[in-house]
Amino acid sequence: GAVVSQHPSRVICKSGTSVKIECRSLDFQATTMFWYRQFPKQSLMLMATSNEGSKATYEQGVEKDKFLINHASLTLSTLTVTSAHPEDSSFYICSARDLRTGKNSNQPQHFGDGTRLSIL
Amino acid sequence: RKEVEQDPGPFNVPEGATVAFNCTYSNSASQSFFWYRQDCRKEPKLLMSVYSSGNEDGRFTAQLNRASQYISLLIRDSKLSDSATYLCVVNTNAGKSTFGDGTTLTVKP
């Protein structure tokens, strides 16, 4: 089945550091990938939709200058948390749909393993 | 009102019990439906798609009621390993996915 890989799985760094998270579709091409954030005991929150070759679409309330998204190829999207602060500590998860077997609206999302970000 | 609503639980059941979760959705143009499970501190994993005629995968049965706009997940003969949060996901025909907040299940020995 479709596999999405996310790296790194865990990041601990000082306040003010910028952190880059990679999301790769390993066995399929993804023109669209999704970035979520999840705080403890809360539901997934969609941050942005990453579009290959064009600008990402951000959800309301998500600062695009804070969370930089680059989707330069059909298998890789990156999320950079710029000048991270303790309040950015969270679980970041990416996902993508495998469209080889059907149209977009009928396909489930496949998630990466997630990145647990801790800012000291 | 949320687009996708689930009873947050928690559901605490003994091993071997049968448990059912419901999920309601408000967008009548919803196209496809899924159940995911999410273990603590892990990513969501696809459990099963939900088809109009209903579908079964081992101890798990999913059903869709378009008229009443809800989907359900039935787990028979619960195992300790079934303890997790179960997420209902609804896709619109435009490809947008909406997640429920999840229902927490704890299966106890």
Residue pair B56/B3 in contact (Cβ under 8 Å)? The answer is no
Q: Is B100 on the interface with A (CB under 8 A)?
A: yes
CB atoms within 10 A of CB A112: 27
Q: What is the pLDDT of residue A13?
A: 95
The three-state secondary structure class of B69 is coil
Is there a contact between B91 and A116 if contact means CB atoms under 8 Å apart?
A: no
Q: Is residue A97's pLDDT more than 90? A: no
Is there a contact between B94 and A105 if contact means CB atoms under 8 Å apart?
A: yes
Q: What is the pLDDT of residue B2?
A: 86
Q: What is the pLDDT of residue B79?
A: 98
Residue pair B45/A111 in contact (Cβ under 8 Å)? The answer is yes
Please, which residues bridge with residue B81 across strands?
none
Residue pair B2/B8 in contact (Cβ under 8 Å)? The answer is no
Is there a contact between A113 and B97 if contact means CB atoms under 8 Å apart?
A: no
Q: What is the pLDDT of residue A100?
A: 76
- Could you tell me the pLDDT band of residue B9, with boundaries at 50, 70 and 90? confident
What tens digit of pLDDT does each residue of A1-32 get?
679 999 999 999 999 999 999 999 998 999 89
